[in-house]
């Protein structure tokens, strides 16, 4: 794998194929936890962490267990099962050995358990035909992309909060409109990386 | 037949492995929960107000359970009942909670002051203060947009006629309003103290008199009236030293502007005897 391929996978996961703003996965935490910057950051770091570990476990299961025995259609069920158990395991592990990290990530871990962004990354890694290393890079990039989207949107929301706007738009309405405009902005990146890397 | 037995078997096998690993993990990596801490946390009111000086009820419970020199009577909202319960859990002697209340040091009702501008911005005190120190003519008094009202978890402080007013019955003295007020004119004082100065203006007497007909003009008559050396004019307004004040009310009588006020004596709460 050349260096440009590495950059291409990571950057496209962060920018052009942003899981939240371009693929519309993981909208629930995107709208739910983006009200405050610090909780948005905590959630995003937890998502990066779980995405990478989930891919590290699900990719071998798909390749060496499901595909080998012609059970590719079991993907969704097995992945949900494995990811849920994995997140539980991580939580127990963190609580015991790294309490400080558990204190900052702990409350977000159960929220992530069956988050569609996590499952989406794992499934799309397989669908795109990525190898193990490529999958890991893509997962990491997707996580960072999630962080970027959360970070930007938390900023947008804090700006909205301090403005005076019509009562009808208060709350969810303004949030959804802001989300769609942020998403439109990311549409501007499409095709950029293909031209830079010549792929 | 085989077509669905193998996938089911595989899924069950994976689920079993996951369950086994999880139960092993839960057994060998279990973190013992501090029972004292859980018991104390259950007694605390859970308002997370921070009056105890810790970051919320959980933090206070943890500090108490860990031992050391943490007092059991720090929870102001919980008052004596919670202090007694915590002391019982820790096996210590219960100490009385000094009940506190919030007190607003301003008497700038709408009819004694006038606005200096037609303020049309955000209706919060913090935002209004950012614009030339607030819309009122007095820059030291209550702005009256009710930041304290929104901060109060007990509904004990309300803005009426442009001035925040504390309901002493409901107030538990947690201090959320005092920390929120951008003018810093809300004090937390012991509930037993009934005399207070309802003005915080640092303007000279003549200026204050022009801006607010109810303000303290710093005439020092209260200083002379006080027999306990508890009242002094500082920064152009009277300040009562809470520790020295004996609630006698001589200063309030002497005050020509009636800006030193007295709460009526609290009526003795009826004692209900059971059994």
Contact A82 B11 (CB under 8 A): no
Residue B193: the pLDDT is: 82
Where do the domains of chain B lie? 36-90, 98-191, 193-264
Domain B36-90 falls in which CATH fold? Answer: 3-methyladenine DNA Glycosylase II; Chain A, domain 3 (1.10.15)
Residues 6+ away with beta carbon under 8 Å from B194: B247, B249, B262, B263, B264, B265
DSSP-assigned letters across all residues of B107-131: ---TTTB-BSS---S-SSHHHHHTT
Contacts of A71 in chain B (CB under 8 A): 6-7, 10
Residue B50: the pLDDT is: 74
A123–chain B nearest CA distance, Å: 17
Domains B36-90 and B98-191 share a fold: no
B12–chain A nearest CA distance, Å: 10
- At the top level of CATH, which class does the domain B193-264 belong to? alpha beta
Q: Which residue has the higher pLDDT, A98 or A121?
A: A121
Q: Tell me if A182 sits within 8 A of A21, measured CB to CB.
A: yes
- CA dist list (Å): B72 to A5, A162, B59, B175, B253: 62, 40, 13, 18, 39
pTM for the full predicted model: 0.58
Q: Closest partner residue to B14 among A81, A99, A164, by Cβ?
A: A81
Contact B6 A92 (CB under 8 A): no
Domain B98-191 falls in which CATH fold? Answer: Alpha-Beta Plaits (3.30.70)
Q: How many CB pairs under 8 A join A and B?
A: 45
Mutate which: A57, A92, A113, A161, vs B, most B CBs within 10 A:
A92
Q: Closest partner residue to B25 among A69, A78, A89, by Cβ?
A: A89
Residue B50 CB-density burial (10 A; 0-12 exposed, 13-18 middle, 19+ buried):
middle
Residue A145: the pLDDT is: 94
Contact B11 A77 (CB under 8 A): yes
From first to last of its 275 residues, chain B has per-residue pLDDT tens of 677 888 888 889 989 999 999 898 888 877 777 778 888 888 888 777 777 777 778 888 888 887 777 788 888 777 778 888 888 888 877 777 777 889 999 988 888 888 888 888 888 898 898 888 888 888 899 999 999 999 888 889 999 888 999 988 888 888 889 989 999 999 888 888 888 899 999 889 888 888 888 889 989 999 999 888 899 998 889 999 888 888 888 898 899 988 998 887 766 555 555 54
A88–chain B nearest CA distance, Å: 7
Contacts of B30 in chain A (CB under 8 A): 92, 96
- Quick: pLDDT tens for A189-199: 888 888 888 76
Contact A85 B22 (CB under 8 A): yes
């Amino acid at each position: 794998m050349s260096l440009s391929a590495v950059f291409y996978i990571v950057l496209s996961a962060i920018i052009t194929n942003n899981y939240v703003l371009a693929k519309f996965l993981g909208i629930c935490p995107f709208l739910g936890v983006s009200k405050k910057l610090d909780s948005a950051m905590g959630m995003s770091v937890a998502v990066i962490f779980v995405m990478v570990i989930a891919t590290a476990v699900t990719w071998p299961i798909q390749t060496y267990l499901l595909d080998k025995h012609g059970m590719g259609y079991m993907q969704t069920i097995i992945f949900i099962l494995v990811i849920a158990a994995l997140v539980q395991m991580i939580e127990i592990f963190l609580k015991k050995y790294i309490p400080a990290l558990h204190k900052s990530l702990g409350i977000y871990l159960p929220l992530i358990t069956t988050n569609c962004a996590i499952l989406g990354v794992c499934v799309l890694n397989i669908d795109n035909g990525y190898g193990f290393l490529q999958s890991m890079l893509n997962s990491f990039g997707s996580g960072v992309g999630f962080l970027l989207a959360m970070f930007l949107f938390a900023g947008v929301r804090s700006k909205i909060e301090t403005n005076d706007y019509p009562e009808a738009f208060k709350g969810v309405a303004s949030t959804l409109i802001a989300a769609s405009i942020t998403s439109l902005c990311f549409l501007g990146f499409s095709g950029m990386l293909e031209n830079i890397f010549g792929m | 037949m085989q077509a669905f037995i193998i996938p089911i078997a595989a899924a069950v096998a994976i689920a079993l492995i996951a369950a086994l690993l999880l139960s092993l993990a839960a057994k060998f990596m279990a973190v013992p929960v501090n029972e004292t801490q859980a018991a104390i946390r259950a007694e605390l009111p859970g308002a997370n107000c921070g009056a105890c000086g810790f970051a919320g009820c959980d933090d206070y419970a943890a500090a108490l359970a860990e031992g050391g020199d943490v007092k059991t009577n720090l929870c102001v909202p919980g008052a004596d009942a919670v202090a007694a319960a915590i002391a019982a859990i820790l096996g210590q002697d219960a100490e009385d909670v000094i009940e506190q209340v919030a007190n607003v040091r301003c008497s700038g009702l709408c009819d004694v002051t006038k606005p200096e501008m037609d303020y049309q911005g955000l209706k919060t005190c913090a935002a209004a203060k950012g614009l030339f120190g607030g819309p009122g003519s007095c820059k030291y008094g209550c702005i009256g947009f009710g930041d304290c009202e929104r901060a109060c978890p007990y509904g004990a402080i309300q803005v009426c006629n442009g001035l925040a007013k504390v309901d002493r019955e409901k107030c538990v003295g947690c201090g959320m309003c005092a920390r929120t007020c951008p003018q810093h004119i809300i004090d937390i004082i012991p509930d037993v103290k009934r005399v207070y100065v309802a003005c915080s203006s640092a303007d000279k007497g003549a200026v204050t008199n022009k801006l607010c007909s109810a303000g303290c003009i710093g005439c020092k008559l209260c200083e002379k009236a006080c027999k306990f050396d508890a009242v002094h004019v500082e920064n152009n307004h009277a300040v009562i030293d809470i520790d020295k004040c004996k609630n006698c009310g001589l200063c309030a009588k002497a005050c020509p502007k009636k800006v030193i006020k007295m709460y009526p004596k609290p009526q003795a709460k009826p004692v209900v005897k059971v059994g």
